[in-house]
Amino acid sequence: MADILFSFTEKKDTRSGFGEGLLELGRNNDKVVALCADLTGSLKMGEFKAEFPERFFQVGIAEANMMGLAAGMTIGGFIPFAGTFANFATGRVYDQIRQSIAYSHKNVKICASHAGLTLGEDGATHQILEDIGMMRMLPGMTVINPCDFNQTKAATIAIAEHYGPVYLRFGRPKMPVFTPKDQKFEIGKAIRFIEGSDVSIFATGHLVWYAIEAQAMLADQGISAEIINIHTIKPLDEEAILESVRKTRAVVSAEEHQIHGGLGDAIAHVLAKKLPSPMEMVGVQDSFGESGTPEELMEKYHCSPKDIAQAAIEVLKRKV
């Protein structure tokens, strides 16, 4: 991608990218329907609801029912986008997703906001850090965690064109907008944002911008880091990962998720089989979160740009 910005002029929340994408889909595809479990404002689904009331379904605080309704609405040719907080979109309804959506291969788009620590002050009950792991274990599920407003909007539009169940994960806080407006989103295609030679940093979601910040810190110390955006965790772009690691032979993964089960595990699985290499994983180290501002939490739980830079320095010590 040529025109990535290494500075930014505005901050926007990824959930608003989802809302804009959904609205655009509503205008261009009359098969797109939306369901929400009493979080229309938080999910930024209000404009879709206002413009397409006959295609919007308020289900109340009943997420299990919402997943079943969405599965049923595919029978008749519709493409349901079911939105709620990531916690209630995954852990709460895992069996509904497993049986009625994944095993039944239904064309449902599970749209999950407020994922991870940056949900902030509501605390650990709502800060799901296991959702990527749960969703990527389901056969046939596509798992996407875009990095900024523009990429989230593009991903929202792209998943309507893909037949099959999708888990789309995004978040609450305003984050730098640094990828191009009106980009084309290719499911399963990693994007190299910055070329480097010493260490490969694979990041997803909000941690992509942090990885770019970490790259600048590392450059100051004479370390050349390659920054690759893995927006699609499943199917994973194995070739892009291997191509980068063949060059650097040192790996850092970065995600707003438990280190168990997420992007880091997915990459480690590929490398263990095909190209064993020293690796550090930035993420939450097998603990629950807590209340705090997003910035405080990312620092306390070692998901900050500084932590990514430190992980790169550590992994370079083990590079052969």
CB of 106 to another protein, least distance (A): 7
Q: Write out the E strands in the chain.
A: 11-13, 32-36, 56-58, 79-85, 109-113, 142-144, 166-169, 174-176, 191-194, 199-203, 225-229, 232-234, 251-258, 279-284
Nearer to another protein by C-beta: 107 or 244?
Answer: 107
CB of 166 to another protein, least distance (A): 17
Nearer to another protein by C-beta: 105 or 260?
Answer: 105
Nearer to another protein by C-beta: 6 or 103?
Answer: 103
Determine, following the binding rule CB under 8 A, whether residue 87 of this chain makes contact with another protein: no
Number of residues that bind another protein (CB under 8 A): 32
| Whole-number Å distance between alpha carbons of 274 and 154 | 32
CB of 101 to another protein, least distance (A): 9
Determine, following the binding rule CB under 8 A, whether residue 59 of this chain makes contact with another protein: yes
Q: Is 249 left (phi over 0), alpha (psi -120 to 50) or beta?
A: left
Determine, following the binding rule CB under 8 A, whether residue 70 of this chain makes contact with another protein: yes
CB of 143 to another protein, least distance (A): 20
CB of 94 to another protein, least distance (A): 11
Catalytic residue among 20, 47, 63, 243: 63
| Whole-number Å distance between alpha carbons of 122 and 306 | 25
Nearer to another protein by C-beta: 107 or 113?
Answer: 107
Nearer to another protein by C-beta: 108 or 211?
Answer: 108
Determine, following the binding rule CB under 8 A, whether residue 71 of this chain makes contact with another protein: yes
Q: Write out the E strands in 145-190.
A: 166-169, 174-176
Q: Write out the E strands in 39-179.
A: 56-58, 79-85, 109-113, 142-144, 166-169, 174-176
Determine, following the binding rule CB under 8 A, whether residue 175 of this chain makes contact with another protein: no
Determine, following the binding rule CB under 8 A, whether residue 164 of this chain makes contact with another protein: no
Determine, following the binding rule CB under 8 A, whether residue 114 of this chain makes contact with another protein: no
Interface with another protein (CB under 8 A), residue from 103, 293, 295, 319: 103
Q: The tokens 């291969």 sit on which residue?
A: 105
Interface with another protein (CB under 8 A), residue from 29, 99, 125, 293: 99
Report H helices in 161-234: 207-220
Interface with another protein (CB under 8 A), residue from 17, 19, 68, 196: 68
| Whole-number Å distance between alpha carbons of 131 and 109 | 15
| Whole-number Å distance between alpha carbons of 75 and 140 | 18
Determine, following the binding rule CB under 8 A, whether residue 119 of this chain makes contact with another protein: no
Contacts of residue 37, defined as CB under 8 A and 6 or more positions apart, other chains included, come to 59, 60, 61, 62, 63, 66, 83, 84, 88
Instruction: Please confirm, yes or no, whether 295 is among the known catalytic residues.
Output: no
- Residue 92 burial (CB count, 10 A): 17
Catalytic machinery residues:
63
Footprint of another protein on this chain (CB under 8 A)?
A: 33, 54-55, 57, 59-60, 62, 64-78, 80, 95-96, 98-100, 103-106
